[in-house]
Chains A and B, each alone.
Chain A
């Protein structure tokens, strides 16, 4: 227990960075992980809601409808006043049109500057060793 107390007394440098720098750091991870940081402390609770950079990836979701639901929650939970600077979407498997449409219309209505969309095949494609 003594150890824990000592550790908590250490200065938390990451949390003391200004919001925009934390956003920059979180732009290097997926939005899912960025949202996860909200459990850290009250300082982190709403940081993700004002991120200008949104990186969606269907990786880590068992089904695409689940991913779709996640996207819906993110876009409705995000601070609507903050513009979007860049959007990335990586999706594996069949395209869920309403989901992509939702992301695109949200991005365009928030003056997106940069967009990157990648669709990967459902199964890995094996190339023959020689033709």
Chain B
């Protein structure tokens, strides 16, 4: 039976992950590899670290295991899972973006894009302070805006 079939994924660090095929085909890249018959031994994923790969597998598992029903509880559960999932530090988020882009998981990619876009969008002063503390590039944004401000003042 197809659902009991397992797929072996080998990542960047040479570690292997054994996953059920139903979970492994969530990323389109892997699905296409299996379709093309390239997945008989193990699938190499050279640009994904084990930390990121286990996170991706965790996400795929959750989405496969949650029954695809219109049940409110199941939907809410998945939503709160996704919400917690993207609450990662920025380094992890950007590693995830690169991995998702390579593995082609559109759903999860959109979720992370939305998260990063929200970081860029308007913030409350407290959040801004927090961002300034933890994030170098936003800080450079403030420098940029301040420079513009001083320029216009001089004129």
Contact of B90 among A13, A25, A33 (CB under 8 A): A13
A10 to B114, CA, bound (A): 23
- Whether B139 and A7, one on each chain, are in contact in the complex, defined by CB atoms closer than 8 angstroms, is yes
Q: Does A129 contact B (CB under 8 A)?
A: no
Contact of B116 among A10, A14, A41 (CB under 8 A): A14
Q: Mark A8-50, 1 if CB is under 8 A from B, else 0.
A: 1111111111000100111111000100010111000000000
- Whether A33 and B121, one on each chain, are in contact in the complex, defined by CB atoms closer than 8 angstroms, is yes
Known A13-B94, A17-B94, A17-B98; judge A25-B137 contact (CB<8 A). Answer: no
- Whether B136 and A7, one on each chain, are in contact in the complex, defined by CB atoms closer than 8 angstroms, is yes
Contact of A29 among B90, B120, B132, B135 (CB under 8 A): B120
Classify the secondary structure of B's interface with A.
helix
- Whether A28 and B117, one on each chain, are in contact in the complex, defined by CB atoms closer than 8 angstroms, is yes
- Whether A39 and B144, one on each chain, are in contact in the complex, defined by CB atoms closer than 8 angstroms, is yes
Question: Across the interface, which residues of B come within 8 angstroms of A27, CB to CB?
Answer: 113
Contact of B120 among A21, A24, A33 (CB under 8 A): A33
Q: Does B76 contact A (CB under 8 A)?
A: no
Interface residues on A, range: 20 to 34
- Whether A13 and B141, one on each chain, are in contact in the complex, defined by CB atoms closer than 8 angstroms, is no
- Whether A14 and B94, one on each chain, are in contact in the complex, defined by CB atoms closer than 8 angstroms, is yes
**Min CB distance, A106 to chain B, in Å?**
24
Contact of A41 among B117, B133, B140 (CB under 8 A): B140
- Whether B141 and A40, one on each chain, are in contact in the complex, defined by CB atoms closer than 8 angstroms, is yes
Chain B 137-155 interface residues, beta-carbon cutoff 8 Å to A? 137, 139-141, 144-145, 148
Across the interface, name the chain A residue whose C-beta is closest to B148.
A39
Question: Across the interface, which residues of B come within 8 angstroms of A15, CB to CB?
Answer: 137
- 4 smallest CB-CB distances across A and B, nearest first, come from A28-B117, A39-B144, A13-B94, A10-B136
Residues of A within 8 A of B (CB): 4, 7-17, 21, 24-29, 33, 37, 39-41
Given contacts A13-B90, A37-B120, A37-B141, 4 further A-B contacts (CB under 8 A): A4-B139, A7-B136, A17-B98, A39-B144
